[in-house]
Amino acid sequence: MSYVIPIVAVCPMRLQHSHRSEMVSQLLMGEPAVILDTDTDFLKVQSLYDRYEGWCQKSQLAVLEELPSNDQESLLSEDHSSVVMIDDTALYVGAGTPLQFLTDHTWGGYTFRYAGSIWDAKNAVFNETTLLERTELYLNTPYLWGGRSVTGTDCSGFSQQIYRFFGRTLPRDAYQQAALGESVGFLQETRCGDLAFFDNAEGKITHVGILLSPDKIIHASGQVRIDPIDNMGIIHGKTGMRTHSLRIIRRYT
């Protein structure tokens, strides 16, 4: 079994082995994945973090014949932008980049050295203060289907990455996240950090956001933004239009 890690800040994972194919997710630099299949210019991989599968361009990956054990999986880049030195070249990476294989290691012929502030998810306290601090890093990040970084994210990629800062692993998609956790019956009973899920006309879960209070939510819709919410759903803070219909609320304790 062979593994890969990205040698770029964000590596697109595509539905098919083509640059024209839909991007279904991303691997962040330092995130290992196992190789499932090969093509001329692409590798089909499965992320070891959330088990998501997709095709990645070979030239954006370093191949490892084995994955060494590492006890630093809780370490993430802390600031909105930090530097990883690859050999002698500086590369800027976003907040939440996993550092377990980027601290003075050589993989696949590349030497990695991280040169920024470090966030230890293992010791992070999940409370209103720290949650607001982490979510504010993403404010105004553009919505990007399949994205999960501070340069572009979709709704479930955003919630997944925020929870990662606190050592909590969520699945990749909104409908998968909605199947976990403890149900909260009413907005008035919610806590900062609970996840609210929204459905379409067919009843399918299509959106997720992080509640900051019973009447305020931060979510990726157009861009990462803070909007009002009531028992019916989200109201766009600028236009006053209702944009999403509330389905369920989940708490992950």
Question: Can you tell me the mean pLDDT for 114-118?
Answer: 94
Q: Does residue 102 have a pLDDT over 90? A: no
pLDDT band at 77 (very low <50, low <70, confident <90, very high): very high
Q: Does residue 105 have a pLDDT over 90? A: no
**C-alpha 173: how far from chain center:** 10
Share of residues in the chain with pLDDT > 70 (%): 98
Question: Can you tell me the mean pLDDT for 111-118?
Answer: 93
Q: Does residue 123 have a pLDDT over 80? A: yes
Q: Is residue 135 helix, strand or coil?
A: helix
Question: Which residues, 6 or more positions from 45, have their beta carbon under 8 angstroms from its beta carbon?
Answer: 4, 13, 27, 33, 34, 35, 36, 53, 54, 55, 56, 61
Specify the higher pLDDT residue, 65 or 175: 175
pLDDT at 71: 67
Strands (E) across 173-241 are located at: 182-183, 195-199, 205-213, 216-221, 223-230, 233-235
Report yes or no: 86 and 112 within 8 Å, Cβ to Cβ.
Answer: yes
CB atoms within 10 A of CB 170: 23
Q: Which two tokens stand for residue 60?
A: 């954006």
The strand pairing partners of 246, in sequence order, are 198
Topology, domain 124-251:
endopeptidase fold (from Nostoc punctiforme) (3.90.1720)
- In whole angstroms, give the CA distance from residue 10 to residue 52: 15
The strand pairing partners of 56, in sequence order, are 43
The strand pairing partners of 85, in sequence order, are 90, 113
pLDDT at 130: 96
- In whole angstroms, give the CA distance from residue 28 to residue 96: 9
pLDDT band at 67 (very low <50, low <70, confident <90, very high): confident
Using one digit for the tens of pLDDT, what is the confidence trace for 26-39?
A: 999 999 999 999 99
Q: Does residue 230 have a pLDDT over 70? A: yes
Question: Which residues, 6 or more positions from 89, have their beta carbon under 8 angstroms from its beta carbon?
Answer: none
Domain boundaries, the chain: 3-119, 124-251
pLDDT at 61: 96
Q: Which CATH architecture has domain 3-119?
A: Roll (2.30)
pLDDT at 101: 85
Nearest to 184 by CA among 172, 192, 173: 192
Report yes or no: 124 and 190 within 8 Å, Cβ to Cβ.
Answer: no
Using one digit for the tens of pLDDT, what is the confidence trace for 174-210?
A: 999 999 999 999 999 999 999 999 999 999 999 999 9
**C-alpha 191: how far from chain center:** 21
Q: Does residue 20 have a pLDDT over 70? A: yes
Report yes or no: 33 and 45 within 8 Å, Cβ to Cβ.
Answer: yes
Average pLDDT value over all residues in the chain: 95
pLDDT at 64: 87
